[in-house]
Every structure is written in C-alpha cells, then in structure tokens.
Structure 1
C-alpha cells in the first residue's frame, strides 16, 4: 500500500499518464510541481549525507501540506505560493531535495506520516504532547493564538461577549478548535469564547469561510495567521475581528515519522534521526535569514495590523531546540 501511494503521487506529476488508481484519501488535489533543486546548498556547502556518504534525503521528498491555504500554500499559475511553500523550498535547497506536495486534511496528518505516504508534514501542524507520542516534530517555525474572521463590515462580533448565541465555525482535527462546554465559563474571561457560543465543525477552513459568506455561521475561529490569509484571498471580503486574541498558543512544527514506524528494510529510512537533526539546523537558518521577509510578504494585512509581528509570531532558536523531538 505504501508503494502504491507513492506511485500514485508520482503518476500525477505526468499528465500523459492519465488518472492513477489511487485510494481517495491519499490522492493529492494537485499534481506535485516544484522547481529543480541544486546539488549543493546555498553558499557552496556540500549536500548532507549519511555516515556512509549516501544522500540523507531522497531526490523527491513528499510533503503533506494544505495546498489551498491562503498565506501558507496555494497552487496558482503552476507555482506553489505561500509561507509554508517557501519554507519547504528553502529546506529543499539546503538539504538537496525537491518538495512534492500532497494535500492532507488536518485529521489525517499523523496517518500519512505513519503509513509513509509522505516524508514530512508542513501544514499548520501544531506541536502537542499527544501528537508527539505518535510522530516527531522539528520546530516551531511559527507561533500564534486564535481569533475570529467575519464578513467585512459585519460588526455583530466586536468582543468575546458578543459570541454568545452566535454560530462559530472551526475545523475537525484542529488543536485550536474550542470544544463546546470548555469555552469561557464567564463571558469575557479566560482563554476561550463565551460559554453560550455555538460551534460547528467542518472539514477545512475554506468550507468555514464559505459557511460565513453564505450566512450560516457568524464567524470562523482559528489561528490568527490563517484568518489573515483569507482576508487576502478573493471572493466576498473578510476581516479579522480586532482585539480578540485568545486560546492556547499554537506552535507550528514540521512533522516527521518516528523511526519505529518506518520500513527499515529501506536504506533511506535508516537515518531518520540524522534527517530530523538536519531539518532542525536548516530551520534555524531559515529563522535567522528568511523568516521576517517571508512572513511580511505573505501576511501583509496581519503585519500592517501588528507592526510588532516578529515578536508575536516568530519562534526563537531556543524554542526550536526545546520543542524538536528527534527519535
């Protein structure tokens, strides 16, 4: 099944091959298209290798991603655009692999790693103790709290108190999703919304945005950068409610399978801890050299609303060292 999944993904990169017989939950929504990567890392450093001199990563690295997530990763004009797409491309340049994207729902991220459908998951994937029991993480590369997205000009929700009696849309499998009954016991206090807010859970954030635009829900609740991404997408204009920043701090990490879950008959799987540490080192250089400008460009509305965005959303290298789990 693992081999079939990979063959299906590769088949989709070549139009002449037509439709591949892939199972529905493993078929990417878009063909994986990426630019060729150099044989050396920027600055002329040699590509990372194993102790035996073999390449540390395969030529094509399949990455579970949100391929329709404005601000993070969107496929447009035969190009992947967004903060996570640029992070993936940077890792590819540093570690000598070509990213190949595979659309993955939030609730399936552990599964696609454990079943070796993908090597990495870079998909607004929050690091949590529960998830770290199932997969390893490198990161974080972004940290955030949660807010609310409404139709532009809709002022019915201006404070946490205003969410009482309102229908709030969020996504299945998201760690930022508030559970009914665990919201604020008292209006306007604590980390969540009003105790009388009503929640509906849909499959993805675009579905939630469409639900708000259709008038079925009053707002979308999730991490603030995700919300701002939709303010820069097409369609009915949306806006993030100013002054509402609540919920748990989410730390977005790069998911990687635990060594125990890999097929160790494959040579490339025998160096998983080395791969994990190589990703950690590359991520730290991304934070030093690329993070600020990439984030500023991809989340223009957010950075205008919060000029101190680097202090709010950028992790430190110490946070990466603390939260990375390699084997």
Structure 2
C-alpha cells in the first residue's frame, strides 16, 4: 500500500514538472540558450531589411543579434519574424516572438500591454519630402499646412501628426513605409512622416538617392526599446546588460556608423537605459 502511494506521488510530481516545463513562466522566461524568434521590420533600409537573397540587415538586426549572442544564441539559430507596427503587441502577447527590435518607440500606452528593455537608440520624428520641395521649413508651417501626409498604421508618428504636429493635414495611413514612399514619388502624397532614422535609410537607398530629402524638423523624441512580454524582468535584465556591453565595447557605434553613415544621418549618442522594472 505504501509503495503504491509512493508510486502515485512520484507520477503526480512528474506530471506537474512536465506541465510546468511545457507552459513556462510568464514573468521570468529568459532564454534557453538554444534558439530565439525575434521580431524585426522587413522593409526598413538601415534598420530592419529583408534583402532579395533572403538575408537580414540593419541596425536593429545588429542590436538583436548582439543581444542573442549574449544570451548564448548563435546568429544561425535566430528565426527572424516580420513585425509590422500594428502587430507588435499581439506578436509579443501571443508568444509568437521572444522579443521585438523593430523601431519600437517606448510609450506609456504600449507599456500597458508589453514591457520594454533599453532604449538602444533615440530617434526623432521628421518629414521626408521631394528634393525640390521647400514648402515645409518649420514646425509652424507644418502646423498650418493642409498637406497630404503619409504614415504607417500603428506607428507613434501617425498619432503625433493628427494630435500635435499637423492637425489640419490630410493623413493617409498605409500598411508599410514602402507604400508611403511610392505615394511620395508619384506625388499622391506630399510627405512621408516617421522617425528620422527610418527616413534617412530610405533616402540613402541607391534607387532613391537624389529624389528625396529630410525636412530637418525634430518633432518628437522616439526612444527605441526592445519589446518583451509584460512583466518579464529576467529577460529585461538580460537585454539591458547586453545593450550596455554593446555600447561599452564599441560594437554599438560600429553598427550605427555602418548603417547610418551612408545616409549622413547624425544619430544621437546611445541613450541611457531607463526600462529596469
């Protein structure tokens, strides 16, 4: 009888252990050191771009790869998943990615749904206009304008435009920045508005060189963070430690110069880590 009870207890303990392993923890996941699924943009040159030959490049990609390395995951063991602006919170909440590095500005509204590590870059909202267009030379001119502006659904830039930047403007929201760029080139819209880091990447592409320019307006501060599941403090610390090391050993500046240099984008120094709980 005692032996039977002991066997049943052992079986129950094993079942609980297997269940816990399968389910994992919500706030203390970290990495298992084998592989990672990381969300990035696929259409942002200089930041997160999937090339025609199926490779991935950009500053966000380099930051994410460095973080993965510090977590014991080799570059070849990373699965890259496209993370459109409007889908980022759902990708994290649903467990489709381990973390997201995709020009993901840290905002109070987003922190209600997900947590962040970082930030790892400070960008600023600006406008991309056609090279011969000098109609928007100041914030006042933009505020009073009735321009057709384009941005991406789910981005902070789209929200800022209607609320604070250009309330009289006609805002068009597309699914991706490439669509906005096509509209700008075809004169369907007057300007593309988003972070200056993103705009610089597009302007620097060979196919677009000489066609567009940044208006030179610093309309907001956009601290890029690494999006993680809400409350995952263990993963947050792992990522913060990796970002700090990347800055300290010079890898951060090397990556920034590599990806932003061709666009003559004068990026800010690495920002101070603020997301610690």
Counterpart position of 1:65: 40
In the alignment of these two chains, the number of paired residues is 241
Counterpart position of 2:257: 296
Partner Cα separation in structure 1 for residue 237 and residue 265 of structure 2: 35
Counterpart position of 1:220: 192
Q: Does 1:169 align with 2:150?
A: yes
Q: Does 1:136 align with 2:86?
A: no
Partner Cα separation in structure 2 for residue 87 and residue 149 of structure 1: 25
Out of 256, 270, 274, the residue aligned to residue 314 of structure 1 is 270
Out of 257, 268, 275, the residue aligned to residue 235 of structure 2 is 275
Shift of 1:142: 0.5
Shift of 1:107: 1.0
Alignment of 1:62-211 (within 5 A): 62-76=37-51, 77-97=53-73, 98-163=77-142, 164-179=145-160, 182-183=163-164, 192-193=165-166, 195-211=167-183
Structure-2-length-normalised TM-score: 0.79
Greater relative contact order structure (CA < 8 Å, 6+ sep): 2
Change beyond 3 A, Cα 1:113–1:219:
same
What whole-Å deviation, never above 9, does each CA across 1:191-244 have from its counterpart, x for those lacking one? x24x43221111111111111111100110111100001012243444333432
Partner Cα separation in structure 2 for residue 87 and residue 144 of structure 1: 15
Change beyond 3 A, Cα 1:222–1:196:
same
Cα RMSD between the aligned structures?
2.2
Shift of 1:61: 0.6
1:213–1:236: 8 Å Cα contact kept in structure 2?
no
Partner Cα separation in structure 2 for residue 180 and residue 233 of structure 1: 25
Q: Does 1:241 align with 2:202?
A: no
Partner Cα separation in structure 1 for residue 89 and residue 162 of structure 2: 27
Partner Cα separation in structure 2 for residue 181 and residue 85 of structure 1: 31
